[in-house]
Amino acid sequence: MSERLLDVRDLKIEIDTRRGRAVVVDGIDLHVDKGETLGVVGESGCGKSLTMLSLVGLLPNRIHTTGGSAHFAGTDLLRMQPAELRAVRGGRIGFVFQDPMTSLNPVMRIGDQLMESLRQHKRLDKAAARQRAGELLKLVGIPGAEQRLESFPHELSGGMRQRVMIAIGLACDPDLLIADEPTTALDVTIQAQIVELVKGLKQRLGMSVVWITHDLALIAGLADRIAVLYAGTVVEDAPAELLFRDPAHPYTRGLLASIPRLHGEDGARLSSIGGTPPEPGRRPQGCPFAPRCPLAEAMCHDIVPALAPLRGVATPHRVACHVANRVREAA
Amino acid sequence: MTTQPATAPLRDDEPPVNLWRDAWARLSRNRLAVLSLAIIGLLAFVAVFGPWLTPFDFLSQNLDARNLSPNWVHLFGTDELGRDVFSRVVYGTRTAFVVAIVVTGIAATLGVILGALAGYLGGPFDRFVMWFTDTTMSVPQLLLVVVINASLKPPLVNFMEAQYEATKNGFFRNAIIIDFVLVFGSMALILWPPYARLIRAQVLSIRSRPYVTAARALGLTTPIIIARYIIPNAIGPLIVAISAGLGNAMVLESAFSFLGVGVNPPIPSWGNMISDGLQVWRNHAHLLAAPAIVLGVATIAFSFLGDGLNDALNPRGRK
């Protein structure tokens, strides 16, 4: 097995509300190996982004991590001093955010924004940082990179800005790049370009990538392994190919079934999962998916299933479901 | 890599659009603002080059030519000591500008730093700063300045006297210096709270923007984030406030001089000239009119410029 870069265990995140603390992330287990791309899939509000922000201490006010650990290259990020953590963010962990339109400082030139983290973490002088900034823009495929250093964000299109964001995330040669829905705000053709870009860069630079998305189809060709999140827990974690071929969790199956197909039957209704995910603070007692689950049994409503390896498969395929094993064996 | 780059239309032939160029274009279409800018420019020129422009010394008395009405030799006439009023108004311009710029500068700097920190850090520091601004703003300005002035003057005078005794440097015996320090100090102390509140409100809205989170994700330190990501994005309303604040500071300085707590005679200030003129205005109206009109014009110019800047810099008010 290759080396673990990031190992998140039993992570808990809670929000302070007027009615007390509400659990939003309830014991997430995730890991990323060196050189691996992990896709994190889940619907809005399932805790994908909070999990990633919590790793580097960027949770908004009133949201706290209340348990678990997150070892990054051997040290627990959740127990680091603020100054140490600051050296990790932007230095060893690069971030790419969702909305390239608002994630760049509108009054600062592209070049200066690229140089910020280089000067902060690598202590480069102005000239060296500038040269590196130019190289980075070239790396992410921006034409006329040198001139573009002088541009302001509003002079670039959305796709170009996301390229710039990626360049900023890569500036200090991070071991891990966390991309939080980096293509959600872009149109489909640009999405494909960004996916290709990150794929190419990953191979060239040998870093690990965590790609957060709610779009399964998008990461099908990108991720080595996919973790499916539901209501703040990991419900399934499997190599990408396996997950698509043989999904084990009823939620994952529901998700895959709801992807529209180009050559479906005429007039066939799009499959969907009935109901809505539980609100934070009003989680069901047992499996969080039980109220919406077509296969739910009595025990599902009482006992929370643990994330455990699927029986009878060679590759590591973990699923949090009481019935998955039985259903598979019966089939 | 075979990726086709997504090319934005490169418009290298056009000048790049930016906030300031844009704002300037809009400002220059506003006639009132341009006129105001011209008046302020003229006054600033007079303030800087005053000594080379005046026909008479502002202090020299000519007892044969007392209380003259405006004429071709003395454009604004002469006062009861035979001093040329035009020259005194010109010097008063200098006083007004120095006071306005220094006081507004100190007040705005103090306000921006405290307001930005309060807004960004929140918590007890925020509550303390806001309590302080509320308290300061709830006391009438004039009253507060008189109190600060009166309570600061004796210790300052003693301090300066002690410095003089120690160094025998004439600088410390200069009453003008003491006056200015007192005026600047007490005015800045009451004028910073509005700037702090303005910037705090801006920071509260800006600090939750994605680019601030992105900056934090880069591992940048708080001072860098405040200085490079938050304040530059909050600067528009600040410029408007400063422009209006300059005019406000001039009026305030005149008010204090008028009350006798500001710049003291013989240094000419529009305020103490108005104060002197008020006693004789029935017989010699020009002694009141000349400084009062100039003060009025200057104040109006600053506030119209502020208005124009507000329209030019505020994206929501765009026509």
Nearest chain A residue to B120 by CA distance is A61
pLDDT by residue for chain A (331 residues), tens only, comes to 468 888 988 888 888 888 778 888 888 888 899 888 999 988 877 888 888 888 888 888 788 888 888 888 888 888 888 888 888 888 889 888 888 888 888 888 888 888 988 888 888 888 888 988 998 888 888 888 888 888 888 888 888 888 898 888 888 888 899 988 888 777 888 888 888 888 888 888 888 999 998 888 888 888 899 999 888 889 899 888 888 888 888 888 888 888 777 776 677 777 777 777 777 767 778 888 888 888 888 888 888 888 888 877 777 888 888 888 777 776 6
Of A58, A88, A154, the CB nearest to B216: A58
Contact yes or no for B233 and A105 at CB 8 A = yes
What are the backbone dihedrals phi and psi of residue B170, each rounded to the nearest 5 degrees, phi first?
-60, -25
- β-strands A63-72, A75-76 pairing: antiparallel
In a domain, B179, yes or no: no
Orientation of helix B141-167 relative to helix B235-259, angle to 10°: 80
In a domain, B198, yes or no: yes
Residue B40 has pLDDT above 70, yes or no: yes
In a domain, B162, yes or no: no
Tokens of A278: 């539980």
Nearest chain B residue to A59 by CA distance is B213
Of B8, B213, B218, the CB nearest to A120: B218
Structural domain boundaries, residue B246: 27-120+193-317
- Please state the domain count of chain B: 1
Contact yes or no for A107 and B5 at CB 8 A = no
Chain B residues with beta carbon closer than 8 angstroms to that of A91: 219
Q: What is the ipTM of this complex?
A: 0.80
3-state SS, residue A169:
helix
In a domain, B249, yes or no: yes
Chain B residues with beta carbon closer than 8 angstroms to that of A144: 10
Q: How close does chain B come to A294, measured CA to CA in Å?
A: 39
Contacts of B96 (CB under 8 A, 6+ apart): B47, B250, B253, B254, B269, B270, B295, B298
Q: Which of B251, B255, B268 is nearest to B54 (CA)?
A: B268
Contact yes or no for B217 and A144 at CB 8 A = no
Q: Buried b / exposed e across B157-181, counting CB within 10 Å, b at 16+?
A: eeebeeeeeeeeeeebeeeeebbbe
Provide the terminal-to-terminal Cα distance of chain B, rounded to the nearest Å.
46
Contact yes or no for A95 and B2 at CB 8 A = no
C-alpha to C-alpha distance for A135 and A153, rounded to whole angstroms: 18
Of B214, B221, B228, the CB nearest to A95: B214
Chain B residues with beta carbon closer than 8 angstroms to that of A97: 210, 213-214, 217
Chain B residues with beta carbon closer than 8 angstroms to that of A196: 1-3
Q: Could you tell me if A219 and A194 are in contact, meaning their C-beta atoms sit under 8 angstroms apart? A: no
pLDDT, residue B17, reads 54
Side-chain-facing half-sphere of A284: CA atoms under 13 Å: 22
In a domain, B181, yes or no: no
Q: How close does chain A come to B304, measured CA to CA in Å?
A: 26
Chain B residues with beta carbon closer than 8 angstroms to that of A55: none
DSSP B143-166: HHHHHHHHHHHHHHHHHHHHHHHH
In a domain, B226, yes or no: yes
> For residue B196, what pLDDT band results from cuts at 50, 70 and 90?
very high
In a domain, B186, yes or no: no
Interface of B to A at Cβ within 8 Å reads 1-8, 10, 12, 16-19, 122, 208-211, 213-221, 224, 228-229, 232-233
Mutation to test the B interface, candidates A96, A152, A155, most B Cβ within 10 Å: A155
Contact yes or no for B3 and A193 at CB 8 A = yes
Q: Which of A12, A318, A34 is nearest to A176 (CA)?
A: A34
Q: Which of A131, A99, A100 is nearest to A115 (CA)?
A: A131
Of A103, A157, A190, the CB nearest to B214: A103
How remote is the C-alpha of B48 from its chain's centroid?
A: 16
In a domain, B222, yes or no: yes
C-alpha to C-alpha distance for A241 and A257, rounded to whole angstroms: 16
> For residue B111, what pLDDT band results from cuts at 50, 70 and 90?
very high
Nearest chain A residue to B216 by CA distance is A58
Of A60, A89, A197, the CB nearest to B218: A89
Tokens of B278: 């008020």
Tokens of B233: 């994005």
Mutation to test the B interface, candidates A109, A116, A137, most B Cβ within 10 Å: A116
Q: Could you tell me if A139 and A187 are in contact, meaning their C-beta atoms sit under 8 angstroms apart? A: no
The mean pLDDT of B141-146, rounded to a whole number, is: 81
Contact yes or no for A196 and B2 at CB 8 A = yes
Q: Which of A110, A97, A104 is nearest to A58 (CA)?
A: A97
Of B8, B217, B220, the CB nearest to A95: B217
Contact yes or no for B4 and A193 at CB 8 A = yes
pLDDT, residue B62, reads 67
pLDDT, residue B4, reads 46
DSSP A32-52: EETT-EEEEE--TTSSHHHHH
Using the Cα atoms of residue A272, residue A274, residue A276 and residue A278 in order, give the sign of their dihedral: negative
Q: What is the DSSP letter of A323?
A: S
C-alpha to C-alpha distance for A303 and B15, rounded to whole angstroms: 66
